[in-house]
Structure 1
Amino acid sequence: MNSRKESGFTYIVRTAFCYALSILIAIAFITIVSMGLDTMQMAGKAKSLKADLGELTASINEKDFERADVATDKLDSTVDDIDELLAGKTWRTAAKMPVVGEYVGAVDSLVDIVKIATGRMIKPALTVIQDYPLDSIKVGDEGFNTYTMEAYIGLLEELNPAINDIIGYLDDINIPDSLGGKVTEYTDKMTLITDAYAVAEDYLPLLKAFLGGGSDRTYLLAAQNSTEIRAGGGFPGSIGTITIVDGVLTIGDFNSVYDVLPYGTPASVGPSELENTLFGNWMHYPRDASFNPDFERVAEIWAKAYGNKSNTTVDGVISLTPTIIQRLLSYMGEVQLSDGTVLNGENATQMLQHDLYYKYFNNASYTDGTNDVVDSLFAETAKTTMSRLVDDFDLNKIAGYLSVFNAGAEDRTIMMWMADETEQQYVRDVGCSGGLNDNPENPEIGVYISGSDPCKLGWYVNVNTQIGEAQVNEDGTRTYDVTVTVENTIDNNTIKTAGTYILGSYEGAWRGYIHLFAPAGGTISDVKADSNGGFRKSKYENLEVAYNLNVMIYPQKSMNITYKVTTAEGVTTVPKVSMTPTLQGYR
């Protein structure tokens, strides 16, 4: 008799427990797990709990936030009632019983979790959603509301520890085996949310700094041209602005670098004698500062030069190459330029870095006005793509936008600089500063090239780097054999149709500079090349560098360079390669 009653009681408890188990909310920033338990009198409370959860979810989905506030208060009241019942004599007695006690103890803890979820997640989220509706994130056709963006970043930072705490509490609760799978299912769903947050978490300090915290900001957006290849990315043919004024972020028009930067580099950021030696005096002209591979130095020059000419304080610089345009369009769809050219996620790089040049600059079509036409098309491309990003901005595509940023940071096709040193450290932390290697524990070999003859042969240049096996030295350092091959792939048939604007001064031969940097704390030695003479050695930014400023690679020819790199003592990590972004993957 007692056994049958115990079994029936356990069944009721188990059934009510499962009945009350549900996900509270599944919208952009709120995911909460709630569970409840009943027998007889508590069965009604369990049903009320589920109804309250349903009402709360429905009201949020319908954006009826006054109704959501009422539902939240009702949910709190129901949880308090369940708490009161659990504190009663019947349930305290049940908690001491074999088997049943496991369920009672688990539910008692789960009710506490509902309180945490309501107080630390639902209520803060409702406050933000009401004060900053998601549809207010866009302002008109070309702007973002930075206050709304900052509010949701703050909400994310507030919710994540609460979710982690709930996961921890669920892991610690002694869940009966028959219910463990269900709890694990919900715990796993919440873990997915925290994992997604973790991917973006490193970027939040930088994003908050970029948005300015209520202050007005001006940033430069430099469109670097990889066909005019430079160590720091490419020739910055067009430069636009991102401004934040009174909480509204807008992307301005792009203009020719010749119009927005002065002829000479301001004396306050002028090149040193060493930089003159290493980079051939090019840094005296701000538009050519990217002969230096250190983007932090390049951006500083651009910011000062632009600021002097426009009487503007520049807070930061972002560099983009055409490959980023293609990656963005793969998420946003195609854009059409004024001359009818259609760019999309499959063809943008080919069109911008090759086809447009042969459309306008081949031997048959070149005219005196061609330069202006093409320059305006490149500026139009940058502006149109950025405007499309604003117009079609979709929170559901955040992961895609983030993947574009990650890929760009990895291959130096996106680089960023902030004038404030604290904010610049955030840039370094996410790996998109474009600065030279400064951490011996994470060694990088720098392989950078620059075309010194005005041309568009960057489309045809390949750079491939191979690192051999480590040789462990007696002093604890490790030495690697490195081979760099630089190849000019243009063929004779192409040369016949290309004009001088594309080919440059040497009938398709590529002329330029090569800089090879040792990793931080390491050395570079035994540099040998099969053509173009020898390499000189120097030291720049505490890094050893080998360089050759007189490289000529003829069509269908290559230059092979071998050398040894030794990492700092005690470092066992194989060096990565940091290199000038090329177009060889898009031909």
Structure 2
Amino acid sequence: MLAWVGIRGALAYSELRSAETSARAAMDTISDPAQTAPHIAEFASHAASAHDLTSDPVWRLAEAAPWAGPQLRAVSTIAAAADGVAREALVPLSDVVSAFSVDAFRPVDGRIDTAVFREIAGPARTGADAVADAAASVSALDDAPLLGPVREAVEEVATLLDTGASATDALARAAHLLPAMLGADGERSYLIAFQNNAEWRSLGGIVGAMAVVRTADGAIEMTAQGSSSDFSRFDESVLPLEPELDRLFEARPGRFVQNVTQIPDFTIGGPLAREMWQRQTGQQVDGVIATDPVALSYILAATGPVDLPTGDVLTSDNAVSLLLNDVYLRYEQPRDQDAFFAAAAAAVFDRLATGAADPAALITALGKAGDERRLLLWSADADDQAVLAGTTLAGELPVSTADDAAFGVYLNDGTGSKMDYYVTADTSLTWESCTLDARGRNAAPITLQVTVTNTAPADAATSLPTYITGGGGFGVPAGISRTVAYLYLPTDAALTSAVRSDRAGFGGGTHDGRQVLAFGSDLAPGESITATVTVIPPGEGASSATASVTPTIDANRPTSVVATCGAP
């Protein structure tokens, strides 16, 4: 029996390794269904062979052995999961998706054929559920008795399945949402709020330029543009805010359109923006989309350079600097700046609407922007919003689980300026020690450290325009950057210490059951401040710690920081 199991085990191992290679190749070509299909077919063949090799009666009998049994059971579970994913998810989905070219996603005469998404929706949801079930079955394995190589294989497969579950779930949600969003069931309108990362708000930056797009039967057109300068201050919040939010943010998000992204939850900010737009213009939109110039730079990599009426050429390389800094150096008057932003938005929209963007590159760009929370969406339609819930697009507060301790690091400008073009923020998470229980959880303290630095030139007060420095407004001298940071701790975590490098204290409060520490700092060019916070994770600990961080102008600084065990 040992020889039989040994031979079949070796063959199964070889098939699973081949399946893993095919799976990774499929993921690398996921944006082009025609290229992905052959890799999925190969994966299915290897997975089926591995399952056959590890599911006969002799193998099942050997799984009861005291030492080898857990190793064999882990291998057979992986093989069964891979085979199930192939048969129930990937192959059926591939059969449907491969019938379409990515060019089907390209607008023709300003219209996208929504039938493509309706065809994909059913198989995508079935596939996503099957991958999620397979991921759960592998994650449920007890890895305590496993040998090192087997444990590593289980971890690799679990990671691969988790990634696949996320990808297929995203496809299923998109296929469900897009037809309605594109007006397949009736006209829709969306307010696009462009966040300016040169003046930080928790979700990215102040809302500056705005536009409304209308969709009808797959056709898309821009119907209106606006600027935050068009809006006056509302006397009171346009929508009721919870008292705890009033205490943290002093009702500013509900009174100023520039501040609707100050609360780090777009399910609150989206409705505020919609209500303000309606009060200002009389138009009620069906949803709100928030994005920023860094996301635009990703999109420009798909569209190619865009000519602007000013004679400028907007590219993926210069979009951030041109839109977040150069425009203020060039134009002193806000109305001239607004005109430039409006022209840029219209030019990029026209490029997209005419189908000039490479579809595969555009899908990649939008996916990257969504992963980094630089693309947010709120829908007034309750069914659509339910589909968005729990995704990065929803822009919700981070949620701690039994396995993950979730922090939030949210940055806001207090200067009334565009100085955050020159301010950096670095976030790290570390575990005090690495002692795991049988379920891979660590109950050791976790330390969050945030360092904010003003990198502006030493003579910023005189060398930079008043519109960038703030000119001494809000009681902040020109050249100084004032930052207000909100540190959200994991739900039910126990705070053990909170220290600032300037030895000042913290303010704060609570939000949705989370303790929030707030601190402000005024930094001259070259100065930094560091806040260090240590907590004990809730319950029996966690296997990872994550921190969601405000997206800034620097695409190389992560918007999600992860630490596992003792390693940052």
Indicate the TM-score class for this superposition, using the shorter chain for normalisation: 0.5 to 0.7
In structure 2, the CA distance between the partners of 1:423 and 1:327, relative to structure 1 (3 Å rule), is same
Amino acid at match of 2:546: K
Question: What does residue 223 of structure 1 align with?
Answer: 194
Match of 1:383 among 318, 332, 346: 346
Question: 2:555 & 2:491 partners in 1: Cα distance?
Answer: 29
1:509 corresponds to 2:480: yes
Amino acid at match of 1:399: A
1:475-554 alignment runs, 5 A limit = 477-504=443-470, 505=472, 506-531=477-502, 533-548=504-519, 550-554=520-524
1:329-408 alignment runs, 5 A limit = 329-360=300-331, 366=332, 370-393=333-356, 397-408=358-369
Q: Contact 1:226–1:458 at 8 Å: present in 2 too?
A: yes
| SS in structure 1 of the partner of residue 394 of structure 2 | coil
In structure 2, the CA distance between the partners of 1:386 and 1:524, relative to structure 1 (3 Å rule), is farther
Question: Which deviates the most, 415-424 or 220-229?
Answer: 415-424
Q: Contact 2:480–2:525 at 8 Å: present in 1 too?
A: yes
Question: 1:519 & 1:314 partners in 2: Cα distance?
Answer: 34
Question: 1:30 & 1:275 partners in 2: Cα distance?
Answer: 47
Amino acid at match of 1:489: T
- Cα distance per residue 1:243-276 (max 9 Å; x no partner): 12355332334321233x5531775614344323
Q: Which runs of 5+ in 1 are unaligned?
A: 1-25, 34-116, 165-192, 361-365
Match of 1:458 among 420, 430, 436: 420
Question: 1:304 & 1:32 partners in 2: Cα distance?
Answer: 49
Question: 1:308 & 1:161 partners in 2: Cα distance?
Answer: 39
In structure 2, the CA distance between the partners of 1:346 and 1:306, relative to structure 1 (3 Å rule), is same
Question: What does residue 156 of structure 1 align with?
Answer: 120
Question: What does residue 564 of structure 2 align with?
Answer: none
1:56-205 alignment runs, 5 A limit = 138=107, 140=109, 143-145=110-112, 148-149=113-114, 151-157=115-121, 200-205=171-176
Question: What does residue 328 of structure 1 align with?
Answer: 299
Question: What does residue 281 of structure 2 align with?
Answer: 310
Offset of 1:491 from its aligned partner? 1.8
Computing the radius of gyration from Cα coordinates, the structure with the larger value is: 1
- Cα distance per residue 1:481-536 (max 9 Å; x no partner): 12110111112244432121111121211113110001234344411112272102
1:36-55 alignment runs, 5 A limit = none
In structure 2, the CA distance between the partners of 1:346 and 1:314, relative to structure 1 (3 Å rule), is same
Q: Contact 2:127–2:168 at 8 Å: present in 1 too?
A: no
Amino acid at match of 1:154: R
In structure 2, the CA distance between the partners of 1:400 and 1:568, relative to structure 1 (3 Å rule), is farther
Question: What does residue 63 of structure 2 align with?
Answer: none
Q: Contact 2:124–2:171 at 8 Å: present in 1 too?
A: no
- Cα distance per residue 1:146-178 (max 9 Å; x no partner): xx22x11122346779999xxxxxxxxxxxxxx
Question: 1:439 & 1:346 partners in 2: Cα distance?
Answer: 36
Amino acid at match of 1:485: T
Offset of 1:196 from its aligned partner? 8.9
- Cα distance per residue 1:259-300 (max 9 Å; x no partner): 3x5531775614344323211442222332222222221111
Match of 1:420 among 366, 378, 381: 381
Q: Contact 1:265–1:305 at 8 Å: present in 2 too?
A: no
Q: Contact 1:233–1:290 at 8 Å: present in 2 too?
A: yes
Question: What does residue 234 of structure 2 align with?
Answer: 264
Question: What does residue 440 of structure 1 align with?
Answer: 401
Q: Contact 1:29–1:156 at 8 Å: present in 2 too?
A: no
What is the identity percentage for the equivalent residue pairs of Structure 1 and Structure 2?
22
Offset of 1:337 from its aligned partner? 2.0
TM-score (norm 2): 0.67
Question: 2:523 & 2:165 partners in 1: Cα distance?
Answer: 51
Question: 2:508 & 2:179 partners in 1: Cα distance?
Answer: 41
Question: 2:119 & 2:526 partners in 1: Cα distance?
Answer: 57
Q: Contact 1:473–1:479 at 8 Å: present in 2 too?
A: no
Question: Which deviates the most, 437-446 or 480-489?
Answer: 437-446
| SS in structure 1 of the partner of residue 401 of structure 2 | coil
TM-score (norm 1): 0.65
Question: What does residue 183 of structure 1 align with?
Answer: none
Amino acid at match of 1:269: L
Q: Contact 2:118–2:175 at 8 Å: present in 1 too?
A: no
Match of 1:248 among 200, 207, 219: 219
Amino acid at match of 1:438: V
Question: Which deviates the most, 316-325 or 488-497?
Answer: 488-497
Question: 2:387 & 2:510 partners in 1: Cα distance?
Answer: 27
| SS in structure 2 of the partner of residue 275 of structure 1 | helix
In structure 2, the CA distance between the partners of 1:468 and 1:438, relative to structure 1 (3 Å rule), is closer
Question: 1:307 & 1:255 partners in 2: Cα distance?
Answer: 12
| SS in structure 1 of the partner of residue 182 of structure 2 | helix
In structure 2, the CA distance between the partners of 1:314 and 1:161, relative to structure 1 (3 Å rule), is closer
- Cα distance per residue 1:362-386 (max 9 Å; x no partner): xxxx4xxx22111111122122112
Amino acid at match of 2:208: G
Amino acid at match of 2:448: V
Question: 2:524 & 2:271 partners in 1: Cα distance?
Answer: 35
Q: Contact 1:440–1:519 at 8 Å: present in 2 too?
A: no
Question: What does residue 539 of structure 2 align with?
Answer: 569
Question: 1:526 & 1:30 partners in 2: Cα distance?
Answer: 50
Question: What does residue 214 of structure 1 align with?
Answer: 185
Match of 2:391 among 430, 448, 452: 430
Count, aligned residues: 429
Superposition CA RMSD, Å: 3.9
1:578 corresponds to 2:548: yes
Question: 1:437 & 1:459 partners in 2: Cα distance?
Answer: 26
Offset of 1:546 from its aligned partner? 0.5
Question: Which deviates the most, 514-523 or 270-279?
Answer: 270-279
Question: 1:162 & 1:223 partners in 2: Cα distance?
Answer: 35
Question: 1:569 & 1:335 partners in 2: Cα distance?
Answer: 53
Q: Contact 1:332–1:389 at 8 Å: present in 2 too?
A: yes
Question: What does residue 449 of structure 1 align with?
Answer: 411
Offset of 1:135 from its aligned partner? 7.8
Q: Contact 1:487–1:557 at 8 Å: present in 2 too?
A: yes
Match of 2:248 among 264, 272, 278: 278
